[in-house]
A and B are shown apart, each in its own frame.
Chain A
Amino acid sequence: MESFAKFWIEVFDNFYKTVIFEQRYELILNGLKNTLIMSIGAIILGSLLGIIISLIKHNYKINGKMKILNKICNTYISIIRGTPVLLQLMIIYYIIFKTSTINPIIIGILAFGINSGAYSAEIFRSGLESIDKGQLEAGLSLGFNYPKTMKYIILPQALKNSLPSICNEFITLIKETSVAGYIGIMELTKVSDIIASKTYNYFFPLIIIAVIYFLITNLLSKIFKKVERKLDINDNNKESI
């Protein structure tokens, strides 16, 4: 009984030292804010890049147009996928923006957005390619030009098909922002490191931060599942028409 009480006293003590003492919860909240800003910014940038690149690649494949842009896109995808995200972040921070006084969070958004763009591009490309060629031809035969056919007919279907994979990509991206501490950004993981160095106890800070990551990614996953279900009620792209 005594050892049980001792255990809980120690837990509360550690929790107090990690979260309450010296208002460390403010540090954690600040880390959470930075992680969210970086993640959301990078998701938006990565998605935009991904959609644009996938459309360029699709246009080249279908119409043979934009040959040079297509080559540039392929090179970009190869380089980004072939190097670690931490290295890309450090190159952008220490080399490209070496003399700049730009906010490191913006650099984080750029680095993670550019990284995610390559993966998103491949996800959206496979979404576009999953749409039957007959859909494109039906759009063209009704008098739409290629861009309008893409806008009104192909993209809405392709984006829906891409949802599960793009959700995975967003989850990966959120977790990858945990390396942003390397360029001095006070994100969640960096905060846990700082608190641990003060309390000389890694267990509590790491577990608390892990729970926060889990809650964010789980919430995102649930939102995506809800959207997918809603779209499934309206239509079913897998149906052969």
Chain B
Amino acid sequence: MITIKNLSKSYGKTEILKNISFDIEKNDKLLIIGPSGSGKTTLIRCLNKLEKDYQGEIIFKKKNIKDIKDELLRKKIGMVFQSYNLFPHLTVKENIELAPSKLTNANKEELSKKTLKLLKSVNIEEKINEYPKNLSGGQKQRVAISRTLANNPEVILFDEPTSALDPESIKSLVKLLNELSKKATIIVVSHDMSLIKSFASKILFIDKGKIIEYGTKEEILKSTNPKIKKFLK
């Protein structure tokens, strides 16, 4: 579904990603792990063109993403940000419906039904008319996920989704991620080791902008690479 070929990215003289190549299959549950500053977030930002100035190629459904219109690609490859980035001047309903209402011809009634369905699927339908400031971290994240889902993306990128959650919220997030993976390809950037067992089908381990290992969960857990062993401890 996505092929990354020789991807390199620098900020000034600092190389963030160094010649990265790998494939992502449809409905993969890919976990990208690695120490802080290893280039994980930059990698997924390249996937939906929030970072454009890179070398190499990213192919999405047989097309170089540089040839796909930004707006179209970003509807297909959605992103849930680490700090959620909800729009504070809009209610939960308005946050979710903003993109579909302004970018498609969907009618109001259909949109309202879909929003309610999405919020029910993440168990926060009672917050539909609240403003983001009245939500907890976990609730904000669920709204952010619903907002991304409202575009019917084929791939969803999650940037450090567990970083601000308590253990209970992490459990329900993992459940949600596993459910979402039935409809879309899920790519999660995290350094939360618990996601390896509870979520991932494939794992990409990167360090200092280079792929250290890429494979199925079982392959990574059996890896003899000292860096991975140290990280998994």
A contact set with B: CB distance below 8 Å:
132, 134-135, 137-138, 140-145, 148, 152-153, 156-157, 160, 234-237, 239-241
Contact = CB atoms under 8 A, between A and B. Distances in A.
B74 A143 contact: yes
Given A134-B85, A241-B88, A141 B103 contact: no
B83 A145 contact: no
Nearest to A141: B79
Contacts of A237: 88-89
A235 B89 contact: yes
A141 B90 CA distance: 17
Nearest to B72: A143
A145 B70 CA distance: 8
Given A142-B74, A142-B99, A241-B140, A137 B87 contact: no
A134 B81 contact: yes
A140 B133 contact: no
26 contacts: A132-B85, A137-B85, A138-B87, A140-B50, A140-B70, A140-B74, A141-B81, A142-B74, A142-B75, A142-B103, A143-B71, A143-B75, A143-B103, A144-B71, A144-B102, A145-B70, A145-B71, A152-B98, A153-B98, A156-B89, A235-B89, A235-B131, A237-B89, A239-B132, A240-B83, A241-B132
Nearest to B98: A152
Given A135-B87, A152-B102, A241-B83, A142 B151 contact: yes
Contacts of B84: 241
Interface range, B side: 20 to 34
Interface in B78-107: 78-79, 81, 83-90, 98-99, 102-103
Q: Is the interface of A mostly helix, strand, loop or mixed?
A: helix
Contacts of B147: 142
B114 to A, nearest CB: 15
Given A157-B89, A235-B89, A241-B140, A138 B71 contact: no
B75 to A, nearest CB: 4
B162 interface: no
B95 to A, nearest CB: 9
A153 B78 contact: no
Contacts of B90: 235
A149 to B, nearest CB: 10
A140 to B, nearest CB: 7
B48 interface: yes
B99 A235 contact: no
Contact of B133 (A132, A143, A145, A235): A235
